[in-house]
Structure 1
Amino acid sequence: MFTPHLLTGRNILVTGGGTGLGKAMAARFLSLGADVHICGRRKGVCDETAAELMKSHGGRVTSHGVDIRDSAAVDAMVDGIFAEKPLTDLINNAAGNFISRTQDLTPRGFDAVANIVMHGTFYVTHAVGRRWIAGQQRGNVVSIVVTWVRNGSPYVVPSAMSKSAIHAMTMSLATEWGRYGIRLNAIAPGEIPTEGMSKRIKPGDEAGAKTIAHNPMGRVGSMDELQNLAVFLISGGCDWINGETIAMDGAQALAMGGNFYGLRDWSDADWNSARDAIKAQNEKDRAKRG
């Protein structure tokens, strides 16, 4: 679909690029000739991903350990990148989420999601965008959101609120920064099974099973489809697309909301079991990080 050197000369930052969707998008950008930066809280994971991607695709991947909830750390990372070579594109992919009845949420639990998804995404976008404007450089921002930005979702209220804020940021800055040649768009993918989703969003479920049963197209999404859409949005193939959130979910949100309304049937025991599973997984992850 794309010419082999389509992204040669591009310098792209992917937040949350060490795993999952971010890693997959970074791989495709690299394979098309871009220089890629990936960042995440776990520097070791990003280092391993960078080495793996360069071994598979060649090119250059630079790894950064940064917590995007820390605006000063974000600014320092972006400043260092621009000092070497200005970014041309930003992919806002870093996220956090877990299922919970809202009455059971604590302020700390709410902040754990909102500080990454809403605050962190703004910090990175702001740090990159103001440097583009100061340097009179064009740029693209693509943010990963969810289909629930259009209809909300129970049981993931911190995520629904925070992703809706990114949707609003996309529309708002598209109109404010378009005059500078800066475009902002968003992708709202349906289920593309990843390890993180299975552990914290659908504990105990077979990955993709419910989507396959209910999706109008009878399947989950693929990484290739997300990679292709992300590449197209930054490719220059249609630079008049600006301020849009594009759903990529086989029409599932149109058919049945595409959110977590189905969990209304869960019992107290179901919620306790899910909470225990998420807690156990978090402890395992902390043990791995040492």
Structure 2
Amino acid sequence: MIESLASVFRPGLLNGQVALVTGGGTGIGLGISELLAELGAHVVIASRKADNVERAVQGIVARGQSASAVTLDVRNADQVKQVVQDIAQRLGRIDVLVNNAAGNFYAPSATLSPNAWKSVVEIDLYGTFHCSQAVYPVMAGQGGGRIISTSMTLHYRGWPLMAHATAAKAGVDALTRTLAVEWAPERIRMNAIAPGPIPTEGVKKAFTPPAESGVPDLFAAAEEKMAEYARTGIPLGRWGTPRDIANMVAFLASPAGDWITGAIFVVDGGEWLSKGGRQGP
């Protein structure tokens, strides 16, 4: 998964730190896990799927870096608290939490089932709160920490068939700002990142609309059409990569972000600004 890009950050930037990354075994989460480990942190990679986290940890360890795996369902508040307690006891601290676990898919709002709504909101919003609340006493007790959550840009303009995900991510933005103010006295910095279109396998699967919906499928298009969309629909002229998001996580996790809290950083090559309210290319 790791991209052949030299890091812009100095070696050892996060030496001695512990980072917990939910949904960190694949896609954007894996890119984040790999970069934090590359910068010296011990990365605890969490996911519901043990195979994903074990494979990710094996890749990081094979490069001489430090990582461990935990199986975690962020919807389960009691399980989240226990896992966080276990990590703090085993490793002595948690310096960085990356709330990256998410569950998204297209579904018509008029026929969206209660369980489908609940599933996405519980993973994206409840999971972000459960994990943040669980690390709070650890970070407060050690004199501070950084919590970085993944949001999205679709709720800034509205996006058909994504009511559950856009509502959940809007909640993540609001939660980020609220906890940033509430927890600032404990020197806990709370920020979020809103990624743009990044064609990982998980994103392709989640953002493939039903054929009859009329919503453009950005990722199933022919390679030439995708390249054309990147040139014309994304002002910076290319699709995003997991490393683009990981770089922002690393910046916020570093001392460079010490006076930043309550911010939501859009990292999308300017894509959402170019839409003018339209959905799709």
TM-score class, shorter-chain normalisation, is 0.7 to 0.9
What is the alpha-carbon distance in structure 2 between the residues aligned to residue 188 and residue 257 of structure 1? 18
Per the alignment, residue 268 of structure 2 pairs with 249
Q: TM-score, normalised by structure 1?
A: 0.85
- Superposition deviation, residue 151 in structure 1: 3.2
Cα offset, 1:212, TM superposition: 4.2
Q: Name the counterpart of 1:107.
A: 114
Deviation, structure 1 residue 211: 4.3
CA contact (8 A) 2:106 2:206 kept: yes
Q: Is residue 117–residue 163 contact of structure 1 (8 Å, CA) maintained in 2?
A: yes
**Superposed counterparts of 1:259-270, under 5 Å:** 261-262=279-280
SS of the residue corresponding to residue 198 of structure 2 reads coil
Give the distance between the partners of 1:43 and 1:125, measured in 2 at CA.
22
Question: Does residue 1:67 correspond to 2:86, yes or no?
Answer: no
Q: Does 1:116 align with 2:135?
A: no
Measure, in 2, the Cα distance between the counterparts of 1:257 and 1:19.
Answer: 32
TM norm structure 2: 0.87
Which structure has more RCO (C-alpha within 8 Å, separation ≥ 6)? 2
**Residue 235 of structure 2 aligns with which residue?**
216
Percent pairwise identity: 35
SS at match of 1:219: coil
Give the match's secondary structure for 2:256.
coil
Residues 86, 257 of structure 1: alpha-carbon distance in 2 compared, 3 angstrom cutoff: farther
**Structure 1 gaps, min length 5:** 264-290
> Using the alignment, how far apart are the partners of 2:276 and 2:142 within structure 1?
41
Shift of 1:48: 1.4
Letter in 2 for 1:143: S
Q: Name whichever structure is richer in helix by fraction.
A: 1
Equivalent residue pairs, number = 260
Deviations along 1:23-80, one digit per CA (max 9) or x if unpaired, are 1111001111110101000112211111111112x12211001111111111110010
Which of the residues 96, 103, 106 maps onto 2:103? Answer: 96
Q: Which residue of 2 aligns with 1:228?
A: 247
Distance in 1, matches of 2:161 and 2:230, equals: 18
Q: Distance in 1 between matches of 2:253 and 2:126?
A: 23
Q: Distance in 2 between the 1:216 and 1:55 partners?
A: 37
Q: Is residue 11 of structure 2 the alignment partner of residue 4 of structure 1?
A: yes
Equivalent residues of 1:149, 1:167 under 8 A apart: no
Unaligned runs of 5+ in 2: 1-7, 210-216
Q: CA deviation at 1:228?
A: 1.3
The reply on whether 1:188 has 2:194 as its aligned counterpart is yes
Tell me the C-alpha RMSD between the 2 structures.
Answer: 1.8
Cα distance per residue 1:222-278 (max 9 Å; x no partner): 22222211100110113111100011111111110587x349xxxxxxxxxxxxxxx
Give the match for residue 27 of structure 1.
34
